[in-house]
Structure 1
Amino acid sequence: MKSLNIHGFSGVPNKYFLKINYYSFTGRPKFQQDNQKLMPEEQAFAILVKIMYDYQLRNLFLDNFKDLHVKFYQLDRLIEDLLPDLFSHFDHIGIEVHMFASQWFLTLFTHKFPLTTVFHIIDVFLSEGMGVLFNVSIALLKASKKELLGQDFEGILKYFRVTLPKRYRTEEAALELIQLAMSTKINSKKLKRYEKDFYAIKEMEEREDPMSRMEERDRVLDFDKEVKSLKLQLMEFKEENNHLESETCKVKEMYREVTEKAEADLQKYKRNETIISEYKQICSQQSERLEKLQQERRDDLLHLKSKLQPCTKCANYISEDGKLVESIRDVVAGGEVQENDQLKKAQTTIKDLEMELAATKLELVESQCKSQDLEHRINNCDPSRNRTDSWMMKKISSFTAAKKE
């Protein structure tokens, strides 16, 4: 913001700007759009001549825009004094006063702002003089300070070009702007001091050795290149930081999913432990019951054998281990054994034992099926359950041995 150069105005005839200012002032484009009846062109031209000469607006276009440079320097110092945070932001991103204030001063804000606002500004300008331009400029910056602080270089230029004029399309907004401008106190002595400072700086620049000036310009260019390089590096670092933040979010999400899955697996593992414990208890009960039934069967067969010992023929149908050698029913059919009360009682007892044995075998088969299902489910569980598998294999082996008996 310390630069005093105006890009794009050197060598342009003053009458060109006079024409632009005149047509902007008379509101020609707006007249065709809004179909509003404005003052006659003769009166508008007379007022324009008055403004150009008596109010010294013409001086802004003369002598290679020297007076306009002074106005830019004064506005720059006012921003530094009244809006220091905004001044620092402009200086940091490379925004200079001439980038937005040249159209304000040269056209009395008629270039972009609605005529409703322009009329109020010109009224105050005709009443108070050239100093009003600083009041209105500072008021515009004050009103837009929050938005400007949040914009980058391109965003600020677009804001001045498009957004800012649209804010003052209504009569209420225009009046608020004028009230804010008139409430902003700008000391005329301070403006005079700024003007003296400007000419002192220009005189020092003219006294400087051209070689020194070129070296200084080269240093400035080198600094500009370095700043651009640092800005590019900063953008790369920001992109890398955003990438790392994205990766961090993904890792956190993966960690959360893995943690939830681990918790679910732990709950499933605990449920499987409960199921295995219940199956152990069931198998233990079935094993005890099977052993009990086998013992009862052996006791009944021994009791039967002891009862049949007095009968030589009947005793031959019972082996040493208590098993039947031949069906008693077939013996009776062959007429080889005479029925008596004791034989009928023994036959009934044997049938009951056979039925009980069949029921026991059926329960054994069911237990084996459950054991096989349990073994399959255990195999699908944590491999750390090998000791449970060996225990189940022992139980299954005991069932198999009992079946053979």
Structure 2
Amino acid sequence: MPEEQAFCVLVKIMYEYGLRALYKNNFEDLHCKFYQLERLMQEQLPDLWSHFQELNLEAHMYASQWFLTLFTAKFPLCMVFHITDLLLCEGLNIIFNVALALLKVPTKKLKKFEKEYQTLRESQLQQEDPIDRYQRENRRLQEASMRLEQENDDLAHELVTSKIALRNDLDQAEDKADVLNKELLSTKQRLVETEEEKRRQEEETAQLKEVFRRELEKAELEIKKTTAIIAEYKQICSQLSTRLEKQQVATKEELDIVRSKVMGCERCRDLFSTAGALQVSSPGRDKASTEPLDEEKDGLKEQLRQLELELAQTKLQLVEAKCRIQELEHQRGVLMNEVQAAKNSWFSKTLGSLKSSASSSSTSQTPSSPKEGPA
């Protein structure tokens, strides 16, 4: 066959018969063929498959060249030509048939050779000198004894080593258990202390709440009382203001009445100017005519002084009431500030105690892990 035609046949086998896939993807398809061959051997040649398994003989050790070279590496060309013809006729699966056939043939020969060996061995043993046979058997037994003694020594050394390692592991485990027990006891103690602290803080919180409630009620009562007093003083101030206004109006009316009476009197008219001011009497007037006027004037002055005194007292009472109101307002502001400060102080103390309780609880619940010993 010319080289060109041989190359065309190779290309056809590679692409159309799937031989090219055996070389791709790190021989993935080739390993699949090995697995298929082993499964066929397990079903059709179980004895041979078991024998190969005992020898740890895998398919890639003997069948790789069968698939990759189509048996050309180990067999004569006349046989390879027939296998190639079968491959071109039936496909790549023909390799499995040929492989199984090749594996079946040596099985019969192996059994035959095994019988021949047994026969030959028996004849050699019969012809051999008993002394040599016993010496050889003795050497074999001595070698086996030495090998067993060596294995025994190795096993004893391994046993001692394992015992020492186990003893060390046990000591480390006991030390670790002691550390864990100590940590457990300390954790329990901290837990008891934390619970006691929590209970004490809860009692303090309850007491603080009660004190705060009483102080709050007291402050509210004081505020209500102060508010009532302020309202009462405001009412008194308004009443005093109204009274003052009424007295001013009444005084003005009385002054107007007195002025109108004086102006109606011919003898007293000259004592007042047109603007209502009191005129000084001339020295030439009669003493008898001025005496009634002086008495009436003194009465009017006395009445005016009394009105001015009442007005001054009313103004003083009004100023005192305003000062008292301002003082009460100041006391009310101080009480409100004290109540707010008590609220803030109680909330801050309660929050701080709760935070400290939470931090101590989290610290007691996360103990430090002991250092791990070597495995």
Q: TM-score range by the shorter chain?
A: 0.3 to 0.5
TM-score, normalisation: structure 1: 0.35
Structure with greater contact order relative to length (CA < 8 Å, sep ≥ 6): 2
Task: Name the structure where helix makes up a greater proportion of residues.
Answer: 2
The higher radius of gyration belongs to 2
TM-score, normalisation: structure 2: 0.38
